[in-house]
Structure 1
Amino acid sequence: MDIAKIKVSEVMSRGVVTVGLEARLEEILNQLLENKVHAVIVTAKDGEFMGVVSHSDIIETLARRGQKIFELTAEDIMCPKPYYVKGDASLKEAAVKMINNGVHRLIVFSSHMGRLLPVGILSAIDIVRVVSQ
């Protein structure tokens, strides 16, 4: 199997769970649990991709801020510059980006009128599933 010929859009998890910049931690945790995901995408009111909040972001924030974390919003907790990839990139390109940056997931986006709009997530597990078939 040549992963250089497979596009990210063919493998990614479609659709994303999003929260607004003003979402409080309780809402973020509810979205993570209800949707059984490890990260939520943070978007501006117009849907533009602003960042991501993952389990590890929450744990790191809790370690730094303790109990005050429940007063924070997604904008306070999120990683504002997560790694991302276009849907037409190859799985090989995505895998190299993950390895080089030590991450387990990439946000997949499309560009519309100069804005980045999240359309999916590609995880390392998604790539492993394809390679193991």
Structure 2
Amino acid sequence: MNTQDTIISYAKKTIAEEARAIAYLEELIDEEFSNAVENIHKSKGRVIITGIGKSAIIATKIVATMNSTGTPAVFMHAADAIHGDLGNILEDDIVICISKSGNTPEIKVLVPLIKNFKNTLIAITSNKESFLGKEADYVLHAYVEKEACPNNLAPTTSTTAQLVIGDALAVCLLHLQGFSSRDFAKYHPGGALGKKLYLRVSDITSQNEKPEVSPDSNIASVIVEMTEKRLGATAVTENGVILGIITDGDLRRMLTTNISSFEKLTAKDIMSPNPKSINNDAMAVDALEQLEENSISQLLAVENGKYAGFLHIHDLVREGIL
């Protein structure tokens, strides 16, 4: 077997072993898991998540997931806890302790201190009969038969299992809280994801020029307005109400069919009436859907029945919506 085949074989074997371990976790989800979730949901405090070594790294990820889905969580390193960080734990907080063996020295020191504070203790461990497993109020069984590491030493399958249990906790709490995409946007305002959830048409139109001509404007005025506002189109309005739209394409077609008499034409002669529009308060992602459904590149925004501005598909590209 050549080197490339060997690498591929090891990679597939690792994934297969971890997949089997994760699939088995489904059988370990029981009433104790449910009770632990309900306890967290009803708590007035936060979730303090602690661990040592690789389990501590997993703890930080679970903390991040919970915080982003509406469950306040704080990471506390097990080794630092006994040197002052126990002060992070408040009266109503629930502590989740992550440890594969449940018998590490740091855990054996930390657990009695947490119990003295009378905080609810939830264990995520592969060994229910460990010190941690026996002392915890709830045990979430993250059992794995062996690590993917050929020496059964490096935390691989076990940390994956811990992570999956943490995700299951966060998702269950998300459902119990009725956490919506709107709520999610509050915690993820940056990037394309956040923009899809909170960016409105008005956020874009307020930054754009607002090309506008009257129905009786001559062609020269139309061209000047489109050129100065640089959006490749202009709205045709009367008393603020949209009557039509003129695009670069409309101008080209006008020149093709009226090459000798276009000077006499006005905006109403070449405009496309009843153009597609969208409420200025609508979500930008809804504007994208309308653009795609109608195979067009711009929309006119309206507010209280009046022309409010222009939105172009390039705006959505710039904002990362598309």
TM-score, normalised by the number of residues in structure 2: 0.37
Match of 2:281 in 1: 88
Deviation readout 1:25-61 (Å, 9 max, x if unpaired):
01111112233331111111x2211111111111112
Match of 1:9 in 2: 202
Give the helix-richer structure, 1 or 2: 2
Distance 2:319 2:229 in 1: 23
What aligned pairs does 1:46-57 form with structure 2 within 5 A after superposition?
46-57=239-250
Distance 1:15 1:106 in 2: 13
Identity of aligned residues (%): 23
Match of 1:68 in 2: 261
1:121 paired to 2:310: yes
SS at the partner of 2:319?
A: helix
1:99 paired to 2:288: no
Distance 1:89 1:18 in 2: 21
The root-mean-square deviation of aligned C-alpha atoms, in Å, is 1.6
What aligned pairs does 1:23-34 form with structure 2 within 5 A after superposition?
23-34=217-228
* Contact 1:43–1:49 (CA under 8 A) maintained in structure 2: yes
1:110 paired to 2:299: no
Distance 1:63 1:41 in 2: 22
Distance 2:200 2:309 in 1: 13
Distance 1:11 1:27 in 2: 26
Greater relative contact order structure (CA < 8 Å, 6+ sep)? 1
SS at the partner of 1:85?
A: strand
Match of 2:84 in 1: none
Distance 1:36 1:128 in 2: 17
What aligned pairs does 1:28-43 form with structure 2 within 5 A after superposition?
28-43=222-237
TM-score, normalised by the number of residues in structure 1: 0.86
* Contact 1:14–1:119 (CA under 8 A) maintained in structure 2: no
Unpaired runs of 5+ in structure 1?
A: none
1:22 paired to 2:216: yes
Distance 1:130 1:5 in 2: 12
Give the strand-richer structure, 1 or 2: 1
Distance 2:271 2:223 in 1: 13
* Contact 1:53–1:79 (CA under 8 A) maintained in structure 2: yes
User: What's the offset of the Cα at 1:119?
Assistant: 1.1
Number of residue pairs aligned between Structure 1 and Structure 2: 127
